Amino acid sequence: MRTAYQEQLEGLNTVLGEMCDLAGAAMARATQALLQADLAVAEEVITDNDRMTQLSARAEEQAFALLALQAPVAGDLRGIVSGFQIVADIDRMGALALHVAKVARRRHPAKALPEEVNGYFAEMGRLAVQLAKNAREVLTNQNPEDALRLQEDDDAMDDLHKHLFTVLMDREWKHGVAAAVDVTLLGRYYERFADHAVLIGRRVVFQATGKTPEQFQEVS
CATH number at residue 94: 1.20.58.220
Give the distance, in angstroms, between the CA of residue 40 and the centroid of all CA atoms in the same chain: 23
Q: Which amino acid is at 173?
A: W
- Would you write out the chain's pLDDT as a tens digit for each of its 220 residues? 567 777 888 889 899 999 999 999 999 999 999 999 999 999 999 999 999 999 999 999 999 888 887 666 666 787 788 889 999 999 999 999 999 999 999 999 999 999 999 999 999 999 999 999 999 999 999 999 999 999 988 999 999 999 998 998 888 899 999 999 999 999 999 999 999 999 999 999 988 888 889 998 887 7
Number of domains in the chain: 1
**pLDDT of 56:** 96
Give the distance, in angstroms, between the CA of residue 110 and the centroid of all CA atoms in the same chain: 27
**CB-CB contact of 201 with 148 (8 Å):** yes
Q: What is the pTM of this model?
A: 0.93
Question: What is the residue range of 134's domain?
Answer: 2-219
Report d(CA 151, CA 144) in Å as an integer: 12
Closest to 64 (Cα-Cα) out of 78, 79, 84, 88: 84
End-to-end Cα spacing for the chain? 32
Give the distance, in angstroms, between the CA of residue 121 and the centroid of all CA atoms in the same chain: 16
In sequence order, the 6+-apart residues with CB closer than 8 A to the CB of 219 are 211
